[in-house]
Structure 1
Amino acid sequence: MRKALALAALTAAPAVALALPAAGASAASAGNATVSILHGVPGLTVDVYANGQEVVGDFTPGTLTDPLSLPAGSYDLAVYPAGSDPASTQPAISADDVAVLAGANATVVAHLSAEGTPTLTPFVNDPGQLAAGQAGLTVRHVAAAPAVDVRAGGQPVLRGLTNPNEADVDVPAGTVSADVVLAGTDQVAIGPADLTLAEGVETVVYAWGSAADGNLALATQTVDADGSSPSGVAAGEAGTAGAGLPWWVAAAGAVALAGAAVPAVRRTQRARA
């Protein structure tokens, strides 16, 4: 199992001064962590705030920030429709006291739950070691959609993946044609799309969007096997399949996260293909 990063929504805590060094700065320095943010909520451009300061403006769906080197500590995160005044607008998504751990390399994803509710889920980027000639493929299900299987070259390599979980597999390095189908069927939900999987590199694929609205899409990032910062993000529509799930009405109100801890994201054991 790989490590998971717990996202806690607790009572208010003293604000932590926010410092954002240049993108890609090393998180190896004492007390720092590398954090990226993926916008996986369709149909809404947003501004992202941390501890009351705007850190990402005009953030469009399907895009990922450059890695940020942040001091370890506690952060209050809030996501607003772009151009909103935080003093008079309820956040679309919020979470207080998000723990940023020293040395961690994580991606925080704003996305829809399986039922269509906006939420935040953190994932740790911890690829581990890959054998010579092998590449890593991690799939993270962050879409308002049912369980899915992931196929490479028409053959299932990951089965029964549900939101907001992830699974991974080692495959020979090279280019593969991948698609996402409804679990146990041949009904294509996303794809096919050609993925170039580099030797010694973990390629992370996010399935995001809403099946009900027909806007399921993929976003990707890469992480070197030594755990260095994610890079090489690409995103776009890649085929759709309806599933009769509810759709989030943007900016309908704040998501109540207080009083409970968001469960840590679990990983399946790495498979060998």
Structure 2
Amino acid sequence: MKRTAVALTGGLALAVTVAGPALADNHESSVSVLHGVPGLTVDVYVNGEEAIPDFAPGTLTDPMTMAAGTYDIAVYPDGADPEADEPAISAEGLEVPGGANLTLVAHLAADGTPTLSAFANDTSQLEAGEARLTVRHAAAAPAVDVRAGGEAVIQALENPNEEVLDLSAGTVSADVVAAGTDTVVLGPADLTLTEGTNTIVYAWGSLDEDTLDLAVQTVDGLHGDPGGVPSGEAGLMGTSTAALWVLAAAGAGGVALAGRRLATNR
């Protein structure tokens, strides 16, 4: 399942096509925020008001209910004065639709520049015995090839990319190599996919700065509750398991998703 990303410049006027049925209240959305910029604790302001203080790298917030409307997002270094200091990352005119399940991610672009991306999480209902796996490449890292069973199933996967797969629940194994080589960059590793959930794995940080790591978000209730929201299970995973982010790419290509962009259905 692929999604395109709409590149935006200047103001961030966004619209979302939600993958799957909308939330029960079409006037509100569930919004989580992931901090994926290493080495920088921040304060997040929404419409000029501090919403998330002391936000540490690798942290994913619990879902927040936000009314449909337009928001200005500003990310400042922890303790900065919004009246005097410039934000590290900002997005003006972020349009949050009703009935969506979104994750905003502050992360590094491929060149290491801090940026902000917004993703629509797929909450469509799964068949019995199925699990959903979403991978989001939000790290400053080069292009890679993904291997399953030792065979390259995707080539030259770059930041920023996203892929969504509906799979049989169970354990999947894969590794990642530098594009066009057999040099293993991450893995191999196994990931257990639980029936009726969307496991969203984010690669974040910088390969050159040796800060590459993972954060994991879980959307549950996808059997009979397609409007399920992230359970709040998230955080850092050791680099020994960092290959997990590539598992969603097995058998499918990536779709660009970059700074100040919003994932929408193709």
Q: Is this a same-fold pair by TM over 0.5?
A: yes
- Say if 2:35 and 2:56, in contact at 8 Å, map to a contact too: yes
**Alpha carbons of structure 1 residues 41 and 169: separation in structure 2 relative to 1, 3 Å:** same
Match of 1:69 among 48, 65, 68: 65
Q: Aligned equivalents of 2:153 and 2:88: distance in 1?
A: 35
Q: Which residue of 2 aligns with 1:167?
A: 163
**Alpha carbons of structure 1 residues 35 and 158: separation in structure 2 relative to 1, 3 Å:** farther
Return the offset for 1:136.
1.4
The residue type paired with residue 263 of structure 2 is V
Q: Which residue of 1 aligns with 2:17?
A: none
Within a 5 Å distance, the mapping from 1:26-105 to structure 2 comes to 28-105=24-101
Q: Aligned equivalents of 2:143 and 2:6: distance in 1?
A: 23
Q: Aligned equivalents of 2:219 and 2:241: distance in 1?
A: 27
The residue type paired with residue 167 of structure 2 is V
The residue type paired with residue 212 of structure 2 is L
Within a 5 Å distance, the mapping from 1:17-32 to structure 2 comes to 28-32=24-28
- Say if 1:121 and 1:164, in contact at 8 Å, map to a contact too: no
Q: Aligned equivalents of 2:184 and 2:227: distance in 1?
A: 32
| RMSD (Å) for aligned C-alpha atoms | 3.0
The residue type paired with residue 68 of structure 1 is M
Q: Which residue of 1 aligns with 2:263?
A: 265
Q: Aligned equivalents of 2:12 and 2:175: distance in 1?
A: 43
Describe the superposition over 1:136-189 as per-residue Cα deviations: whole angstroms up to 9, x where unpaired. Answer: 111101111122344556555555432222012233212334444333434333
Match of 1:212 among 208, 214, 217: 208
**Alpha carbons of structure 1 residues 61 and 175: separation in structure 2 relative to 1, 3 Å:** same
Describe the superposition over 1:219-265 as per-residue Cα deviations: whole angstroms up to 9, x where unpaired. Answer: 11111331411122132331599xxxxxxxxxxxxxxxxxxx94443
Give the % identical residues: 57
Q: State the TM-score, normalizing by the size of structure 2.
A: 0.77
- Say if 1:109 and 1:120, in contact at 8 Å, map to a contact too: yes
Q: Aligned equivalents of 1:62 and 1:153: distance in 2?
A: 30
1:76 counterpart SS class = strand
**Alpha carbons of structure 1 residues 46 and 190: separation in structure 2 relative to 1, 3 Å:** farther
Q: Which has the higher helix share?
A: 2
How many residues align? The count is: 237
- Say if 1:190 and 1:217, in contact at 8 Å, map to a contact too: no
**Alpha carbons of structure 1 residues 196 and 122: separation in structure 2 relative to 1, 3 Å:** same
**Alpha carbons of structure 1 residues 27 and 54: separation in structure 2 relative to 1, 3 Å:** farther
Q: Aligned equivalents of 1:267 and 1:185: distance in 2?
A: 32
The residue type paired with residue 239 of structure 2 is A
Alignment pair present for 1:233 and 2:229: no
- Specify every segment of 5 or more residues in structure 2 that has no aligned partner in the other structure, as ranges: 14-21, 243-258
1:114 counterpart SS class = coil
Q: Which residue of 2 aligns with 1:22?
A: none
Match of 1:137 among 124, 133, 136: 133
Q: Aligned equivalents of 1:3 and 1:267: distance in 2?
A: 5
Q: State the TM-score, normalizing by the size of structure 1.
A: 0.75
The residue type paired with residue 228 of structure 1 is G
Return the offset for 1:196.
2.1
The residue type paired with residue 130 of structure 2 is Q
Q: Aligned equivalents of 1:6 and 1:75: distance in 2?
A: 18
Match of 1:109 among 65, 88, 105: 105
Return the offset for 1:126.
1.3
Match of 2:114 among 113, 118, 124: 118
- Say if 1:175 and 1:194, in contact at 8 Å, map to a contact too: yes
- Specify every segment of 5 or more residues in structure 1 that has no aligned partner in the other structure, as ranges: 14-25, 242-260, 269-273
Return the offset for 1:131.
3.0
